[in-house]
Structures are given as C-alpha cells and as structure tokens.
Amino acid sequence: MARRCALTGKDTQFGHNVSHSNRKTNRRFAPNIQSVSLHSEALGRDITLRISTRALRTVTKKGGLDRFLLDTDDLKLPEVAMRLKRKVRKRLSTPRSKSA
C-alpha cells in the first residue's frame, strides 16, 4: 500500500544522510500516515481514510471533512478526495425530502 495521503497527496520524499565527513547516503522521508475515520455531515456516515497527521490537523482546523473538501481547490486534491468532494457537493445540492 502506498504511503500517500488520501486528502493532500503528500508522498514519500527522498534525500541524503550527510555524515561528518560529508559523505552522502540515500534515505527516505516517509509522511506520518494514519488510518482514521472522519465523519461526513453531508453523507451522514463515517469515512475511513489513510491521511497524514498534517492533513488531520487541517481538517480539524477547517471544521470537518466536508468543509475541508469544499474549501480546497480541485487541482490540489488527489482522485480519492475528488470523488468524495463530488459526492458531498451532490448531496448538498439536492434538497432532502422530509419523512413523515
């Protein structure tokens, strides 16, 4: 499974360990990916995603998953997040009928 954030697209980066003698060896910088369940008010259910802890902080700051998706530009979202955004937007645009 790829170590990539489902909401921001944050991925593994590469760099070097640099020793005291200035010798450079390759290394990876893996994002801190956690599996979390976020509640969507519009969809009325919990959605399990693998996201970075930085993205989790941003979702909390924005006020929830729905607000994060609607406020974020489409070009910055990966495909998984775009599918969720379309579902949320569709659910919010259709008026709900009241049951008796």
Q: Decide: helix, strand or coil at residue 21.
A: coil
Domain that holds residue 59: 13-92
Query: How wide is the angle at C-alpha 82 spanned by C-alphas 79 and 88, nearest 5°?
Result: 150
Average pLDDT over residues 66-70: 96
Query: Does the residue 59 lie in any domain?
Result: yes
Query: Does the residue 5 lie in any domain?
Result: no
* The dihedral sign for the CA sequence 77, 59, 52, 13: positive
Q: pLDDT band at 15, cuts 50/70/90?
A: very high
For 18-29, letters b (16+ CB in 10 Å) and e give: eeeeeeeeeeee
- Assessment of whether the complete model's pTM goes beyond 0.95: no
CATH number of domain containing 36 = 2.30.170.40
CA distance 44 to 33: 25
pLDDT tens, 18-67?
999 999 999 999 999 999 999 999 999 999 999 999 999 999 999 999 99
Query: Does the residue 25 lie in any domain?
Result: yes
- pLDDT reading at 89 higher than 70: yes
Query: Does the residue 2 lie in any domain?
Result: no
Query: Total structural domains in the chain?
Result: 1
